[in-house]
Amino acid sequence: MKRITLAALLGSAALVVALPMAAQAERGGDRHGGMRGEHMKAVDANGDGDISKAEVEAFQAKIFAEADANKDGSLTLAEMNAHHEAMEAKRKAERQQAMFAKLDTDGNGKISQAEFESRPMRGMERMDTDGDGTVTEEEREAARAKMKEHRGKWGHRGDGPPPEAPDAE
């Protein structure tokens, strides 16, 4: 029982510390608009481009204070979940706003059919390897194999065995 309690407490503490990094990863890191840079700017309190231990500790304290809804100096699972859900909702709203703004090329607050249809077809362009304007079953299979290889290489939803479950004693 002590192992489970200790594991739960350590896991909770790690989650609170990891929330900013998880948020960064969910937003795509540097691939889509420099989100990693934005996260680092939030941690870099004095704006000098360097991250000190004191700045990381201050940032962790800020995140903890935000999550500690009843301000009792500790976090419950409900508080952590509520904070995580609030942060996810904020990120989702930001992503939706950015997508809408990208599609609304004339900035009138509406997306016309022409604006909607002008979106690049990156998936089609990537899969149509012979450039004939048609994606064949062979091209789709090749794309699937490439994605599967990429996921396995980086450990994302790979086909390997599931990680071992922790000892539940």
Are residues 67 and 141 located together in one domain of the fold?
Answer: no
Residue 164 falls inside a structural domain: no
pLDDT at res. 2:
56
Are residues 65 and 125 located together in one domain of the fold?
Answer: no
Residue 142 falls inside a structural domain: yes
Residue 19 falls inside a structural domain: yes
Q: Which residue has the tokens 């304290």?
A: 61
Is there a contact between 4 and 168 (Cβ–Cβ < 8 Å)?
Answer: yes
Total domains in the fold of the chain: 2
Are residues 9 and 57 located together in one domain of the fold?
Answer: yes
Q: What is the pLDDT of residues 59-90, one digit of tens each?
A: 999 999 999 999 999 999 999 999 999 999 99
Does the pLDDT of residue 164 top 60, yes or no?
Answer: no
Please state, rounded to an integer, the average pLDDT across all residues of the chain: 78
Is there a contact between 107 and 118 (Cβ–Cβ < 8 Å)?
Answer: no
Residue 74 to residue 64: CA distance in whole angstroms: 9
Are residues 92 and 129 located together in one domain of the fold?
Answer: no
Residue 161 falls inside a structural domain: no
pLDDT at res. 121:
84
Residue 162 falls inside a structural domain: no
The CA-based angle 29-33-36, given to 5 degrees, is: 35
Is there a contact between 98 and 85 (Cβ–Cβ < 8 Å)?
Answer: no
Q: What is the pLDDT of residues 126-157, one digit of tens each?
A: 898 898 989 999 999 999 998 888 887 665 55
What pTM value is reported for the model? Answer: 0.51
Q: Which of 130, 107, 104 is nearest to 118 (CA)?
A: 104
Are residues 129 and 52 located together in one domain of the fold?
Answer: no
73, HSE (Cβ side, Cα atoms, 13 Å): 0
Range of the domain at 151: 121-156
